[in-house]
Each structure stands twice: as C-alpha cells, then as structure tokens.
Structure 1
Amino acid sequence: MSEPAFHGADELLDAINVAYADDWPAGFSGTYAVMECLGEGRGCDTFLAQDADGEQYVAKRYDKAVWSIDPSDDILEALDHPALPRHVASFEDEDSAVIVRTYIEGSSLERYARKNDLGEQEIARIVAELCDVLAYLHRRPEPIIHRDIKPENVIVRPDGSVALIDFDIARTYREGGEADTVFFGTRAYAAPEQYGFAQTDARADIYSLGVLLRRLLTGSPRENKNVRVYRPLEKVIAKCTAFDPKDRYADVGQVKRALLSANPKSRGLRIAGLAVVAVLAVALSAFAGLQIYKAVTWSPFNSDAIPAVLNDEDRVADAVGFMQDKYDTHLFDNANDTATIGLLRQTLIECYGLDRDYAYGAQKEGLPGESDEFFMPWGWDDGQTVRRETAVYAAVKVHDPTLVAEDQWTKLPDDNGEYPGARVALMFAEETGILTGANQPYDISVGELALIFANADRVFEAAASARS
C-alpha cells in the first residue's frame, strides 16, 4: 500500500487517506491526499486533492463498470485556455480511472446567482464571457462540444471572470459522424438532439447557453410566460433554444454580438437596432405635416397632458412606469443610475423605432448641423453621460424633426456657443411643459431621462388629440 501525500493540515484526514489508499489506482495515493468530496454522481465522484507542496487539484474517479473511459485520452490535454482547467495526471487500475486536473478557485454560477442579485447587464456579461470560452472550443480544427452547459459547471472567480469545468461528456465533433445514441447531459439544459435525434454539434451548446441565460434571468431553466424578460434578451433566448438546430444562431460569436447589442448599458459598444429604415420613414411621415405647434402658446397642464400635482420623486416614478407600460421596456428600471448616451440611443431604437445607423450616425467634419443621414450631430461614445438639453433635443426631435430644423434657429436671441438645434428644442420644452420635474442640467439620471421622454410623449399625444 503506497503512503498518501502528507498535507499536515488534519491528522484525521491523513488517517482516512491511509485507510482508503487501496481504493485508488496505484500511484495516486503516493502523490495526492484527498481533502474533500466535492460531488458524487453515478459512477463518478469528484474530490479536492492536494499534493505534498500544498497545491490543490480536482481528482475525478470513474467506476469502469459504469464509464467506458481511457484516462490517457483526456480531452483537456490538448487545450490551453485560461478559462478551462488543465490536465495534470491520470491513473487507472482494473476497477477505476482517475483524472487529475487543475483546481479553479471560485464559486459555481448556481451559488453565485443565489447569493447575488444579478442584473441584466451582469448576466449578459457572464454569458458573453462564456461565449468566448465556447468559441475557443468550437473553432478548433476538430470542434469540441461540451454538452453539459449549466450553472453548476460554470465557475465565477473572485475577480468576476468565468471558467467552464466538467468535461466528462464533452465530445469531438466529426463531420459525417453518427447520431448520439446515448443521452448524456442535464435534461433541463440539453438540446433535443442530445436525446439521439442527430449528432450534436456546436449548436447543442448554444441551446444550453440559451437555457442558462433564461435560468439566470427568471430563476428557472424552463419557460414561464408569466415571467417577463427584457425583450431583446428574450429574443436571444428564443433563438438559442429553437428546437431545430438550423433555426439557432450558427455560432457563439453571433450569440455574443446579440447579447452585447441587447445590453442597454454596454459602454463602448455599438447597440444593435431593432427596427429598419422603413419604420423611421413611416414614423416621421406621420408627423411631417405638423409645423410649429399652436401648442407653443398652450399650457399642457390645462389639457392634463402632464400630471400636475406630483413632487419630483413621484414624477420620475410615474414617468418610468409610463415608459415601461407604453413600450414594454426595462430600459429605465435602474432609475437612480446615471444615464448614458448609449441608453439614450437604445431608447430611440427600441421605443421609437429608429434605425441603428441613423441613431449612431454622426457628422464627420465641420460645425454640427441637422442632416437626414444621422439623428444626433455629435459622435459621442455610448458611455458618455447625458445632459438635460441633449435628452430634450432627442425627445422633441424624435416626434417632430421640423421643430429643431435649421430654419428654426432664427428664433434664438443670440449665439451662446451651444448647438442651436438643442437650444430651440429646449425653448419648445420650456413653453410646453416637457421640462416639468427635470431640474438637473448635467449628468441626468435614468429616471430623469424617462421623465423627459414621457413628458414629450404626453405633450405630443395631447397636441395630436386636440388637432384631430
């Protein structure tokens, strides 16, 4: 019987390792001491092990009566990625096989999600990082399919980065290979083809990734129509989890781009549009006949366009609820956060149907001016904070571009250096009540952004109703 590696931390553990040393293949007990059982499965147990130098590892012991396994052919031996465990050693005898891999410190995503109130932005970041790991596996000359993507197999490290573990049922995809004949995986997360309908390819992992995204957003891997999910992320889930693989995303790169596009607070990222140019044309043409409102001299309070008896805090809460109900959006849920240009652009795209290129276009040279090619004349980064006059300019212009057109600039009493289009929008907002409750001139909050858009919606709706 070989002596176990001495760890010196617990005499009882040393005694247990000595007593059960014969249960391990030759060579393992002389190199590693078992510290803890991390998990038990059918014919496969997972242990935390330690060598004589105090380094920790994960040792997986497979019962050969259950598993047909060649420990010398560990799929991780050929892989080298910081978000994957590395193969360290393997041992076997007639009854069992043991594979030792590096230990990744952290918490399982299952536990991490339970202990933390994860917002949509954090969830999108985590799943996007997983896409990078899967891209490494799927884009190899012989793609590797994990086949068991679930929260328990994702580790969130102390620095917040993620790693993917448990490659027990991973397989190499080979063109023209046969259908999977035995079901492997976790039923709630497994793609239909893992039940033997076809050979699993990268799209099986994409299916599981979509289920994992649903689990993080709703608390359950199963679809529940009574739980509302932020609409762009709901679309990502639906496409990932399509029954037919050909209806899913073709690769995880597409999933990552969709996730980042769906994230309204993602800084430095271009936010993908949800509408086409035709929608914009219809929206603008509907208001093309409106010139300067008779409402310029009309108080919106007299027509109940904006709630009159509210304090500023209640007014913001009312506006957030108004935008959520009208547009079925979660863009304004974090009302106390500072609004960004990215969020403003996403509001224009998701709520008002602007085309992405139009929302993100910007003047390349010369002084800022109005153009049919771009909505805002400033090429600001998505992460920049929002000034009140910028939000007002956007809220007015999205309803009627003629109100900020260059022929309206003559109304301005002077040239104070600010963009004239924003100044005439601000004048209109002051006269019609759109500024009601919006008292912060710089770095406005998400709630104040909702307030300005809600006020503008109410003013323009009341004016359209009065004219009809």
Structure 2
Amino acid sequence: YPLFLLAAGYLVITSKRFLVTEKKKELVEASAIETNKMLGLSFQGQGMLDMAFDKFRKCPIDDQMKELLYNLALDFERKRQFNKAVAVYEHIITVDPSYKGISDRVKQLKAASDGAVFGVGVKKGPADGTVMIEGAAATAPTLGRYEIVKELGRGAMGTVYLGKDPKINRMVAIKTVRFDDDVDETTMKAVKERFFREAESAGSLNHPNIIKIYDAGEDNEVSYIAMELLDGEDLKKYTEKDKLLPLPTVLDYAVKAADALDYAHQQGIVHRDIKPANIMLLKDRTLRITDFGIARITASSKTQTGTVMGTPSYMSPEQLAGKKVDGRSDLFSLGVVLYELLTGEKPFSGESIAELLYKIANEKHPDPKTKVPALPDSVVKVIDKLLEKNPDQRYQRGAEVASDLMECLRSISSAG
C-alpha cells in the first residue's frame, strides 16, 4: 500500500509537471506568434516587405493572418513586385484557395509579371491613361510613397504621371527619368548619384515663377521626380501667329521668366532647356518655369563634352558646340522664346538640323521688325542683345534683362 501511494504520488507530480510544461510551451509559442506578427507589421510599415513576409510565414494561417498576408500581397503589387505578391497569395491558398478570389488574381498577376516594367503588363484605361491591374481588388501602383493615379503624358526624357502623396493627401506630378542604357554598372551608379544631386539642387529652388520639386527617388530601378501639379497650359500655343498675346503681356511674362532664371543662376543652377513648352501659364495667369535641371539630369548618363541636350531651335551656340554652359545660355534661349512669342516665328530655321545648327552658330537672326513693324526699338534692342553669339556680349544676368524689359513696359505705358 505505501508503494502504491508512492507510485500514485509520483504520477501526479509528473503529470502536473508535464501539464505545466505544456502550458508554458503554449504560452511561449503564442508569444512567439504574436512577436512575429508585430515584427512583420513593423517591417511592412517601413517598406521592408520581404522581411515582413519572412515573419508572417512563421505564424499559423488563421483568419487574422489571412488578412495580414492579403494586405502584404497588395503592397507587393503596388511595388510592381508581382512574383512576390503571387508567393504571398499562394501561401494563403495552401489553407484557403477561395479567399477573396486570390486564385484568379494569381493568374492575372502571373500574366502581368511576364513584362512587369513600370506601366507594362497592366491595364491602361483608354480614356484617361489610368494604370491599374484588372480585378475587383485592383490597387494603384506606387513609386516610392506615391500612388500612381494615371498617365499624363510622355516625352523623350520620360513619362509624367498624376500621383498622390497619401501621407498629406496632396496630388503631385511624377516624372520618371530615362537614362542611357548603354553604360556599365559603375558609370550608371555615378549617373544616378549625380541625378539625385541635381534633383536636390533643383528642389532647393524657392521662387514664385519656378515649379516646386518635392522629392526624388528610385523604386525598382525606376528613377523619378515628384513635383508640384500645375493647372494651366504652356506658352507653346501662343507662338502661333493667330494666337499671339499682346506686347505688354509678353513682356510681363518675359520679365518674370528672366527674374526666375536670375534667381536660379545665382544658386548655381542652369536650366539648359528653356522653351515655350517649359513655361507654364496657370489659370490664375501665374507663370511657372518647369523642368529645371531635367536636361542636365538626363544628360548625366551621357558624356558631357560634345553632347547636345535640349531642343535645338532654342539652344545657344555654346550649347550646340558641347561647351560648358552657364546662365547666359539660358538667356539666349529666353531671347529665342521672346522673339517667337512676339513674331510667331523662330529666329532660326533650316531645311535640315545641320542647316539650323549652322544658322544658330553663325548667322544673325532676322530683324523682328521685318515681321512686326510696330515693335518698339527698345524691345528689339533687348532681343538683339539676348541673341548675341558670344556670351560675353550677351546679357550677363537675368536681372539685367528684367530691368530693361521693365523699362520697355514703362515706355509703352507712357506712350499709350
């Protein structure tokens, strides 16, 4: 009987220890699961999606975890990492193939991932250029922290999108920048470093007549610049002969542009691509110069000597020659714009690019009074000085241009 009691006591103690150990083990496991969830959410919040998935995979797939995994997959989609989104969806499918229609979504994403360069392999709305993945759970792609709403336009230097900064609920214009692919890895690294330096410099400009640059970054090898979204039109249409603006209006816009250029030049920043298409007129008639630094940023992936970047008709002789340029080159370009806004014709033209470039470098521009006889001599004098071939004989600062144009405006006003 004593032996029986001893054995029974031993069994009770052993069982109790086992149950306590198992309870502790369950608590440890539950704690580990909760820790992995919290770490996963933390990583996801910081944009470290791969690390988030690594933590989530260590958790049992209950209803809460399905939702967490589903949201993580959507984040991968926004980053256009479709293969990784598929991996997350397939992890959910192991326990619930019908969850939120993800089986069909996996098929769509696998098709999209075959050509998943930004804007490729996704549905593009025919009317507004909206970029979306098809499906009920469709989600807008992102660049960095910006949600892409739709495409606004394309150019030789990249694509412009309408974007949204969800942190402050601000709509922005996002321009992706194309680099020359024909460079080695070391050169490309240097190019992108220069890109961010140039974008940072342009972003430091704070002038009422210069577009504001908010941010620059790279997302999945897509470099981009986020900038102020403008509501208006450029000056290009006002270079047509039947749509020319009144002389005082043109001079007023030229004063503002010259003042903005002077400000930028004093900060050591040259535009390099001043033309009507890069001067915006907002609905409240405010003027904005756009694309500051874009020509230089794009030129960064090309050799600097002997490389022509910009729009030939508006380029200075020294820029055409591939020489190092300063603010006076922008003033030559402004002279071309002013000539065109007043006459409806460019000061230099040719049957071919070669002829055009020769005329810019060697021939004097036609007298604008032959196009518009009523043009005041004081205005012609400003144009002539802006279009001097030798930068040393040109205006040296935009402030000088603005001052002379203001004097022209005063003369016109007093004469009227």
Sort the TM-score into its range (normalised by shorter chain): 0.5 to 0.7
Of residues 81, 86, 89 in structure 1, which corresponds to 2:212? 86
Judging changes above 3 Å, is the alpha-carbon distance between structure 1 residues 189 and 43 closer, same or farther for their aligned structure 2 residues?
closer
List gaps (5 residues or longer) in structure 2.
1-73, 80-124, 135-140, 182-187, 298-302, 348-364
Of residues 35, 41, 58 in structure 1, which corresponds to 2:155? 41
Match of 2:43 in 1: none
Q: Distance in 1 between matches of 2:296 and 2:126?
A: 38
Judging changes above 3 Å, is the alpha-carbon distance between structure 1 residues 28 and 243 closer, same or farther for their aligned structure 2 residues?
same
Alpha-carbon distance, 1:123 to partner: 0.7
* Residue 240 in structure 1 maps to residue 355 in structure 2: no
Of residues 3, 6, 16 in structure 1, which corresponds to 2:131? 16
Q: Write the mapping of 1:128-139 to structure 2, written as runs, cut at 5 A.
A: 128-139=255-266
Alpha-carbon distance, 1:144 to partner: 0.8
Alpha-carbon distance, 1:116 to partner: 4.8
Match of 1:283 in 2: none
Q: Distance in 1 between matches of 2:129 and 2:239?
A: 35
Instruction: Give per-residue Cα distances to partners, 1:150-175, cap 9 Å, x unaligned.
Output: 1100111222221110120248xxxx
Q: Write the mapping of 1:105-254 to structure 2, written as runs, cut at 5 A.
A: 105-112=231-238, 116-140=243-267, 143-167=268-292, 168-170=294-296, 180-196=305-321, 198-222=323-347, 223-225=365-367, 226-228=370-372, 229-254=375-400
Question: Relative to total residues, which structure has the larger helix share, 1 or 2?
Answer: 2
**SS of equivalent residue, structure 1 residue 236:** helix
Q: Distance in 2 between matches of 1:200 and 1:87?
A: 23
CA contact (8 A) 2:209 2:256 kept: no
Partner amino acid, structure 1, of 2:196: S
CA contact (8 A) 2:272 2:329 kept: yes
Judging changes above 3 Å, is the alpha-carbon distance between structure 1 residues 56 and 27 closer, same or farther for their aligned structure 2 residues?
closer
CA contact (8 A) 1:4 1:29 kept: no
Alpha-carbon distance, 1:17 to partner: 2.5
- Report which of the two structures shows the higher radius of gyration computed on alpha carbons: 2
Q: Distance in 2 between matches of 1:12 and 1:218?
A: 36
Q: Distance in 1 between matches of 2:274 and 2:145?
A: 34
Judging changes above 3 Å, is the alpha-carbon distance between structure 1 residues 12 and 257 closer, same or farther for their aligned structure 2 residues?
closer
Q: Write the mapping of 1:93-108 to structure 2, written as runs, cut at 5 A.
A: 93=219, 95-108=221-234
Of residues 47, 50, 57 in structure 1, which corresponds to 2:164? 50
Partner amino acid, structure 2, of 1:126: Y
Alpha-carbon distance, 1:127 to partner: 0.1
List gaps (5 residues or longer) in structure 1.
20-25, 172-177, 272-330, 332-339, 344-445, 447-468
> Aligned residue pairs: how many?
253
Judging changes above 3 Å, is the alpha-carbon distance between structure 1 residues 41 and 235 closer, same or farther for their aligned structure 2 residues?
same
**SS of equivalent residue, structure 1 residue 145:** coil
Q: Distance in 2 between matches of 1:216 and 1:195?
A: 22
Partner amino acid, structure 1, of 2:338: L
Alpha-carbon distance, 1:224 to partner: 4.3
Alpha-carbon distance, 1:256 to partner: 1.2
Alpha-carbon distance, 1:245 to partner: 0.5
Q: Distance in 2 between matches of 1:104 and 1:247?
A: 36
CA contact (8 A) 1:179 1:196 kept: no
Instruction: Give per-residue Cα distances to partners, 1:309-348, cap 9 Å, x unaligned.
Output: xxxxxxxxxxxxxxxxxxxxxx7xxxxxxxx6x21xxxxx
Q: Write the mapping of 1:432-447 to structure 2, written as runs, cut at 5 A.
A: none
CA contact (8 A) 2:163 2:171 kept: yes
Q: Distance in 1 between matches of 2:392 and 2:316?
A: 13
Partner amino acid, structure 1, of 2:132: N
Alpha-carbon distance, 1:100 to partner: 1.1
Partner amino acid, structure 2, of 1:151: P
Instruction: Give per-residue Cα distances to partners, 1:285-320, cap 9 Å, x unaligned.
Output: xxxxxxxxxxxxxxxxxxxxxxxxxxxxxxxxxxxx
CA contact (8 A) 2:129 2:152 kept: no
**SS of equivalent residue, structure 1 residue 149:** coil
Alpha-carbon distance, 1:118 to partner: 0.9
CA contact (8 A) 1:85 1:101 kept: yes
CA contact (8 A) 1:4 1:31 kept: no
Q: Distance in 1 between matches of 2:284 and 2:319?
A: 34
What percent identity do the matched residue pairs reach?
A: 24
Partner amino acid, structure 2, of 1:227: K
Alpha-carbon distance, 1:82 to partner: 2.5
Q: Distance in 2 between matches of 1:49 and 1:154?
A: 21
Judging changes above 3 Å, is the alpha-carbon distance between structure 1 residues 256 and 29 closer, same or farther for their aligned structure 2 residues?
closer
What is the TM-score normalised by the length of structure 1?
A: 0.48
Match of 1:174 in 2: none
Q: Distance in 1 between matches of 2:308 and 2:264?
A: 21
Judging changes above 3 Å, is the alpha-carbon distance between structure 1 residues 48 and 254 closer, same or farther for their aligned structure 2 residues?
same
Alpha-carbon distance, 1:30 to partner: 6.0
Q: After the TM superposition, which of the residue ranges 209-218 and 28-37 deviates more from structure 2? A: 28-37
Instruction: Give per-residue Cα distances to partners, 1:169-221, cap 9 Å, x unaligned.
Output: 248xxxxxx98431111101010111235310111011011101001001122
Partner amino acid, structure 2, of 1:189: Y
Q: Distance in 1 between matches of 2:146 and 2:327?
A: 37
Judging changes above 3 Å, is the alpha-carbon distance between structure 1 residues 35 and 240 closer, same or farther for their aligned structure 2 residues?
same
**SS of equivalent residue, structure 1 residue 82:** coil
CA contact (8 A) 2:244 2:342 kept: no
**SS of equivalent residue, structure 1 residue 90:** strand
CA contact (8 A) 1:203 1:249 kept: yes
Match of 2:92 in 1: none
Alpha-carbon distance, 1:51 to partner: 3.8
Alpha-carbon distance, 1:35 to partner: 2.0
Alpha-carbon distance, 1:99 to partner: 1.5
Match of 1:59 in 2: 174
Match of 2:403 in 1: 257
Match of 2:70 in 1: none
CA RMSD of aligned residues (A): 3.4
Judging changes above 3 Å, is the alpha-carbon distance between structure 1 residues 180 and 262 closer, same or farther for their aligned structure 2 residues?
farther
Instruction: Give per-residue Cα distances to partners, 1:92-121, cap 9 Å, x unaligned.
Output: 256421111121222111135558541111
Partner amino acid, structure 2, of 1:245: P
What is the TM-score normalised by the length of structure 2?
A: 0.54
**SS of equivalent residue, structure 1 residue 188:** helix
